[in-house]
Amino acid sequence: MDVNTYVECMTRPKTVTLMRFLKILCVMLLIGFLLLAFLMGNLIAFLVAIAAGVGIWFFGLRASVEFEYQYIDRELSVDKIFNKSRRKHVASYDIGKMEILAPFHSHHLDEFKNRQLTTLDYAPAEEQPDHRYVMIMEGKERLILEPSEGLVNAIKSVAPRKVFTD
């Protein structure tokens, strides 16, 4: 692979339990307050039912989150996709500023364990086997990713001494 490489990688969806719970709670509130509004003719109950409907929409969008990584010419871009319908650009990282990329439980990360780093989690929850990787950026940030083999190989082609696949 040369420097002008393009790799795109999607993670599997991460279900956010809190958002699912809040969505179900809003559905119950909507039904209850709609019944109350129609039976009693209460305007406040109708307004609460409308707010619960807005809550259903809002929490429904964030109930399922997946990440997309795009590697283009020594730059890793991370996007967050909500419910397979809305996309939000999260961050971009220059691979030249990367200190290490290694599997989550790799011994190569031992020297970074005691450092005070900001942790940014761009991966779904841990499963067995664990496919997550850790990328340390400029000694400031610890990124948790779940890259494909192609993405790891593309990064390894430009920074072979900084990428480990053990």
- Structure confidence at residue 16 (pLDDT): 75
Helix (H, G, I), strand (E, B) or coil at 104: coil
70 pairs with which residues across the strands? 8, 77
Q: Please tell me the predicted confidence (pLDDT) of residue 1.
A: 43
Q: pLDDT in tens for each of the 166 residues of the chain?
A: 444 788 898 887 777 788 889 999 999 999 999 999 888 888 898 999 999 999 998 888 777 888 999 999 889 999 998 888 888 999 999 999 999 999 998 999 998 888 899 999 998 876 767 889 999 998 889 999 999 999 999 999 999 999 998 8
Q: How far is CA 83 from CA 10, 62, 63, 87, 166, in A?
A: 13, 6, 7, 9, 33
CA distances to 30, 34, 106, 113, 127 from 151, in Å: 45, 50, 18, 24, 20
The per-residue pLDDT for 17 is 83
C-beta pairs of 128-132 under 8 Å, 24+ apart in sequence: 130/103, 130/104, 130/105, 132/103, 132/104
Domain 6-15+63-158 adopts which CATH fold? Answer: PH-domain like (2.30.29)
Please state, as a whole number, how many other Cβ atoms lie within 10 Å of the Cβ of residue 28: 10
The Cα 144–Cα 141 span in angstroms is 10
Strands 118-121 and 141-145: parallel
16 contacts: CB under 8 Å, gap ≥ 6: 62, 63, 64, 65
Instruction: Specify the length of the chain in residues.
Output: 166
